[in-house]
């Protein structure tokens, strides 16, 4: 399981010109799954993201968590995080989980995060247009 976490001032996702998810301050999370991923990886990733302290405190120190700033999450499924570009110039996606299984884990991951945070999400498998204001910029890559 791979996730790219971007600290944002705002973010939204649209499908066919219609906004289906939008947040203010918080995290934009791009998440992808590989063949061996299970709910256990989702639980570990959700726990790590929930505890990450990447917001500035009153002394401008990176010391506050998403909960501390009453932040929100926009979570987007992104199978291309498992692109393999080691041979040639066209990426291969053989390491990405099959869509029906990835959709189930994506739903579980979002549901897990939504137990603690307000979570908006994209539409799995859709052609999505994501807009964000990256705060910092501050971007972190995680893998389990």
Catalytic residues: 78-80
Residue 3: name the closest of 81, 117, 118 by CA: 81
Task: Give the residue carrying structure tokens 């990447």.
Answer: 54
The DSSP letter of residue 126 is S
Residue ranges with strand state E in the chain: 2-15, 18-23, 26-32, 53-56, 62-65, 72-77, 118-121, 128-143
How far, in Å, are 9, 12, 18, 60, 129 from residue 21 at the CA level? 14, 5, 9, 30, 11
What is the β-pairing status of strands 2-15 and 26-32? antiparallel
């Amino acid at each position: 399981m791979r996730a790219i976490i971007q600290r944002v001032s705002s973010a939204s996702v649209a499908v066919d010109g219609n906004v289906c998810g939008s947040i203010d301050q918080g995290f934009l999370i791009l998440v992808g799954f590989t063949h061996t991923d299970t709910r256990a990886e989702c639980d570990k990733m959700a726990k790590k993201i929930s505890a990450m302290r990447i917001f500035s405190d009153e002394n401008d120190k990176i010391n506050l968590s998403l909960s501390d700033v009453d932040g929100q999450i926009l979570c987007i499924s992104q199978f291309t995080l498992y692109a393999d570009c080691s041979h040639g110039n066209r990426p291969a996606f053989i390491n990405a989980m099959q869509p029906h299984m990835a959709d189930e884990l994506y739903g579980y991951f979002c549901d897990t995060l939504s137990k603690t945070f307000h979570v908006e999400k994209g539409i799995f498998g859709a052609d999505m247009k994501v807009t964000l204001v990256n705060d910092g910029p501050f971007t972190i890559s995680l893998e389990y």
